[in-house]
Structure 1
Amino acid sequence: MLWPSYIKGFKSYLKLERSLSGNSVDAYLSDVDKLGQYFQSLNREPKITEINVVDLKSFISWLNDLGMLASTQARVISGLKAFFGYLMLEDLIQNNPSALIEAPKLTRKLPDKLNIHEINGLIDAIDASKPEGMRNKAIIEVLYGCGLRVTELTELKISNLYPQIEFIKVIGKGNKERLVPIGGVALKFIDIYLREIRVHMNIKKGNEDFIFLNRFGAKLSRISIFNLIKSLAVKTGLKKTISPHTLRHSFATHLIEGGADLRAVQEMLGHSSITTTEIYTHIDRDYLRDVITQFHPRS
């Protein structure tokens, strides 16, 4: 359910009247597409005039259940407000259902991190006997082993793999390219998936170079990765709220806790500012407690 004519008009509005860049336009359209995916998950195809504030609140709860970060939810809500604002501007709807929707409050609270035993538990919970099993193992290994954003993972291409030197080329925010080291375990699972599973798939035209495909031979969506992480957390009985970003956060945290240089971690994460990377330098609470106990005169 993409309401093709509305989407086409919204795209033109963003490009011509708001003069947004191609990347910004794609981001807005992706936000609207998520609403379409939500209704598809309910097997509903409501008319654009039938969507109300209750639908949008349920949609936001759905995003939250997927483990989507508050910052991501806020961006999606912003995109929907722009979409429904456009529909109001064009007199395509009489009431704006997004007017009373508030974005979640953004804080500097750090997301949960996983320890290596929990990460191994997620990987071990994947049924390798199923066709998608080896693909899913490779996905978790790459997310944690390379610290990728979920979009960077879905956009990863075979032509950007350099197994001989154990590097991958990643297209990050703003179409910035960076080289990221990739470990032998992740490469092993990718190789098995490519040689034993993916090679037998009927791949849709235009998707031949993407590494990770769905059962229809098309590039995996972001939502698919969120659902995979959520299902593995449930399967392993993990009580933490996790998402694909949790694995990226764990990657950075484990490197810094192990003594890695902050600048090197910044480069691998693709952060334009070192300030962004510094949020990963939180110190274990037990360590802080030990410091107080050992050195403070009143303890």
Structure 2
Amino acid sequence: MAKKKQLTVHNKSDKPDNIVTSEHKTIEDCLEIEAQLPRFMRDFFIYLKNAVALSTRLAYLNDILFFCKYLIADNTITSAKKVSDITIDEFNNITARDVNYFIGEYCTRYIIESQTSIKVVENHNRALARKKSSLSVLFKYLYRDEKIKNNIIDGLNPIRLPKPQPDAIKRLEIDEVARLLDVIDSGTVFTDKEKVYWEKTRLRDRAIILLFVTYGLRLSELNQLNISSFNFSRGEFKIYRKRGKEVLMPINRTCEKVVKEYVSLERPKSEVLDDENKDALFLSIQRTRMTPRAIRNLVKKYTSYVLGTTSDNGYSPHKLRATAATSLIQQGFSIYDVQNLLDHDNVTTTQLYAAHKKNVKREIVNNFEWIDE
């Protein structure tokens, strides 16, 4: 068996090496999928590379590969035995009706069968809408590039997505956040066996939770944090958001305190770490950068104690993002300030977290009388 080559990073950008390495892995995944797809899509790959975020590029390619595999299994449009053998002439014969059947009938529920198991996959409307978007981008490009003769996009069926309801947004209330922090600090909810682990990670876990509920960070943003991300003398830290946006965040006294305590009192010293993890902020017991899954499980575990449920039903980091948004608005910050802090593309997203203010005008008027009775 050939020995796996060691990856080294020659980084001349401002991005930390861990982010460059993570992006490289995603790019490799994209290239692996592109190698399986038909050759006539090569120009589309170049378009996709420059038109959308890296994570979106990977998601689109996965959806297109899935569609092409469906075409081969269906055996009515193509005679190809491999995805790469599908021809542009065969793609030219695909109609809006074919795509509508694929999304509306096949994708809603299908079976993946292996030698040892049968897996039933069901997709809700949000997942179906993503697949429709992926195929729409592909067919729109092929038509624009004059590779196919008909623009079938207008014939695709609409997919109704439920309108977000403010009351349905899952989040912790301010008193529940206080209880959450108390659970981490006291450890009284844990068994003797669980306390052994808790005592080794208490300061780390507290710092993670406080960064989530203070800044509403995305999971990827927190996972990528390094010690070098923080400049305490300037009172700020750097994060990398979607689409590669580099943002400086001011750090308040609470978060500065908990991060410093974790680094100085609990985190393993850099000299005992390998080069890959020397700069990583949040480390596992194995002294490697915590994975997104580990962080998600940690958050779900702690929130489950506050909610009185199982770890599986605890809140995800995204629910703490909603918690941060709601708490900031409750403290009186404008939705535009909160939109800026949380990096919402559209202020209507932020407005959902202001649902508790639906009676605010009545309260203001009732408490602002010009004439005393």
Shared fold per TM-score greater than 0.5 = yes
Report the 3-state secondary structure (helix = DSSP H, G, I; strand = E; otherwise coil) of the residue aligned with 2:266.
helix
Per-residue CA distance 1:252-298 (angstroms, 9 max, x = gap): 1122222213322122112233333222221257x47976xx79xxx
2:216 and 2:322 in contact (8 A); partners too: yes
1:147 and 1:251 in contact (8 A); partners too: yes
Change (3 A) 1:276 1:10: same
1:148 and 1:248 in contact (8 A); partners too: yes
Map 1:15-164 to 2 at 5 A: 18-19=45-46, 20-21=48-49, 24-26=53-55, 49-50=114-115, 54=119, 56=121, 74=127, 106-110=162-166, 111-126=169-184, 127=187, 130-164=199-233
How many correspondences in the alignment?
244
1:203 and 1:216 in contact (8 A); partners too: no
Q: In 2, Cα distance between the equivalents of 1:256 and 1:268?
A: 12
| Structure with bigger gyration radius | 2
Change (3 A) 1:130 1:241: closer
- After TM superposition, give the deviation of residue 137 of structure 1 in Å: 0.5
Structure with more contact order per residue of length (Cα contacts < 8 Å, sep ≥ 6): 1
2:223 and 2:282 in contact (8 A); partners too: yes
Is 1:192 paired with 2:250? no
2:301 and 2:314 in contact (8 A); partners too: no
**Among candidates 332, 340, 344, match of residue 271 of structure 1:** 344
Query: Is there any run of 5+ residues in structure 1 with no aligned partner, and where?
Result: 33-46, 61-69, 83-102
**Among candidates 276, 282, 285, match of residue 212 of structure 1:** 282
Map 1:194-273 to 2 at 5 A: 194-200=263-269, 202-238=272-308, 242-273=315-346
- After TM superposition, give the deviation of residue 199 of structure 1 in Å: 3.0
Question: Which amino acid letter does the alignment assign opposite residue 181 of structure 2?
Answer: I
Task: Give the TM-score of the pair, scaled to structure 1.
Answer: 0.64
Is 1:181 paired with 2:250? yes
- After TM superposition, give the deviation of residue 155 of structure 1 in Å: 0.9
Change (3 A) 1:49 1:116: same
Q: In 2, Cα distance between the equivalents of 1:104 and 1:144?
A: 32
Per-residue CA distance 1:36-90 (angstroms, 9 max, x = gap): xxxxxxxxxxx99448662646xx9xxxxxxxxx99x849x85xx99xxxxxxxx
Question: Which amino acid letter does the alignment assign opposite residue 9 of structure 1?
Answer: E
Question: Which amino acid letter does the alignment assign opposite residue 344 of structure 2?
Answer: H
Question: Which amino acid letter does the alignment assign opposite residue 156 of structure 1?
Answer: L
Change (3 A) 1:50 1:180: farther
RMSD: 4.3
- After TM superposition, give the deviation of residue 180 of structure 1 in Å: 2.0
Change (3 A) 1:170 1:7: closer
Query: Is there any run of 5+ residues in structure 2 with no aligned partner, and where?
Result: 1-27, 63-111, 136-158, 188-194, 368-373
Per-residue CA distance 1:206-244 (angstroms, 9 max, x = gap): 233221122223222222222112111223344686221
Task: Give the TM-score of the pair, scaled to structure 2.
Answer: 0.53
Change (3 A) 1:218 1:48: farther
Report the 3-state secondary structure (helix = DSSP H, G, I; strand = E; otherwise coil) of the residue aligned with 1:220.
coil
